[in-house]
Chain A
Amino acid sequence: MGAPANIREINGSDLISALHLAQQAPAILGPNPTKATTSTSGTAEEYSQLEQLFLACLRTGDDQSAQACLDRLSHRFGPANERVMGLRGLYQEATAKDRAALEKCREEYEKILSESPVNVPIMKRRVALLRSLDRPTDAIAALIQLLDALPTDAEAWCELADLYQSQGLGSQAIFSLEEALLIAPNAWNIHARLGELLYVSSSAPDSDASRLGSKSVQHFCRSIELCDDYLRGFYGLILATSRMLENGQADERPSDPTVAPRKTLDQLKRFGLQRLGEIVESRSVDDQHWASSRSELIAAKELLNRFASS
């Protein structure tokens, strides 16, 4: 069966690949998907692939296949398994008809948590549900409670950063991402994300723009250092350096040693433009590999055109 080999490749965020995966569901689940297999064998990899399939099916609205995946998982690990409980909660949320049903889901989570207060997947579901119900303040409080119990969860720190950012609390979001970076110091995408947050924060009128901008440049540089040809890193580097150069935040000899001098910024910008041009040239839009990040490529081209014309 060729399907499991494909699953790994399409473990991405984009819709098209999730759709393709969900379309394969009947083939992967076999001819009789409603009946759970009696055997409890299977490698860890197979079950993580089944979980991916479950998520993709839920996402594309194929509730039947999702139910079949969930049945298999709970048959293997038992309904009291924390992770399976989390997935079941996700399924119930997805199939809930109205707000009242969602409130019921939330009460169920509260009940589970009152019995076992450190059920991490359910704690995370509760945060997500609160956020979905437009109660970001409660979601933040619940998430902080989670992080008090489990301060090494990088995923939770990233979610907290996202929540803070959605509430316009830039500096708190930056702090949360920095915490996440302490746990995963080599995560190039999180470095780029932090660079983006800093870049956005530096545009606020009452901020220390030159310091934030310079930090943003540093994080973009780090993401490029950690990952060759990282399109997102170069994109951000060009934006951040050109903003600093244009706004006159770059001095020949800055008083603050953490702020890069004008010459360095200029060199970084030219380097970024050159490399981004090379990357865009080497990646054709029609290439199958790039189907998922086509929009990134188009955005990069747009940026290059803007700098070429100005």
Chain B
Amino acid sequence: MSFLSKLVTLFGLILLTHAGYSAHEHTILFNNTRLALPHDIIVETLVAVVIVSIGLVLGAEKLKPISWRDWAGQIERDGGARNPYLGLEERYGFWDIRNWTYREPVLAVALWLCSGVSCICVEHALTISQAKRQEFADWMRGQDLPAKQ
């Protein structure tokens, strides 16, 4: 909730309290005559409700996508790690831990297409896919990777 929205909500709540108090006082004072509430109190109440609503709407959290494609697109834009169907491609249950391959389907197609075309990323993927677990462990220890912030 931003400062502005808090301020607007607070102002609206003060108005609402004021209107309620006025109505209370009015009924006590004119108990016998049974006069209707004056228009200014009614108007004040309505305006206060509108202002409080505006304040709350302004301070609401960012809306989450409702439609599937927006939601899925958001996941992909964040790197795809939250994809609920990622397990169907990773298949942890069937993991070949001794000789795991770095499966990257887009690259696989790219590799298959431009075989012969020298492409650094493809070569990189190839070296990884041939690496056995132990080799990778050794490589990892020798590598000084920058720690993730």
Contact = CB atoms under 8 A, between A and B. Distances in A.
A229 B76 contact: yes
Grouping DSSP codes into helix (H, G, I), strand (E, B) and loop, the B interface class, with mixed when no group exceeds half, is helix
A187 B85 contact: yes
A226 B68 contact: yes
A184 B85 contact: yes
Contacts of A156: 93-94
Nearest to A13: B90
B95 A90 contact: yes
Given A128-B95, A230-B76, A295-B125, A61 B136 contact: yes
A217 B96 CA distance: 32
B79 A131 contact: no
Interface stretch (A192-200, A205-213, A245-253): A192-200
Grouping DSSP codes into helix (H, G, I), strand (E, B) and loop, the A interface class, with mixed when no group exceeds half, is helix
A199 B112 CA distance: 11
Interface string A1-34: 0000010111111111101100100000000000
Contacts of A293: 79-80
A289 B86 contact: no
Size category of the B interface is 35 or more
Nearest to A235: B106
A236 B109 CA distance: 9
B145 interface: yes
A292 to B, nearest CB: 5
A199 B97 CA distance: 29
B24 interface: no
A299 interface: yes
B72 A155 contact: no
B34 interface: no
Interface stretch (B12-20, B50-58, B113-121): B113-121
A190 B98 contact: no
B121 A189 contact: no
Interface string A90-132: 1001101000001000000000000000001100110110011
Contacts of A199: 109
Contacts of B42: none
A205 B108 CA distance: 20
Nearest to A187: B85
B72 A226 contact: yes
A295 B137 contact: no
Contacts of B102: 13-15
Nearest to B104: A295
A227 B72 contact: yes
B140 to A, nearest CB: 6
A235 B104 CA distance: 13
A121 B110 CA distance: 34
B117 to A, nearest CB: 8
B63 interface: no
19 contacts: A9-B79, A13-B102, A15-B136, A19-B145, A59-B97, A94-B133, A155-B87, A158-B88, A186-B68, A186-B85, A228-B72, A230-B72, A230-B76, A232-B105, A236-B109, A296-B106, A298-B120, A299-B119, A302-B119
3 pairs of A and B residues whose beta carbons are closest in the complex: A61-B137, A228-B73, A227-B72
Given A60-B137, A298-B120, A302-B119, 20 more contacts: A6-B148, A9-B82, A12-B81, A13-B103, A60-B136, A61-B134, A61-B138, A90-B97, A124-B93, A124-B94, A127-B94, A132-B96, A200-B109, A227-B69, A227-B76, A228-B73, A229-B77, A230-B72, A295-B106, A295-B124
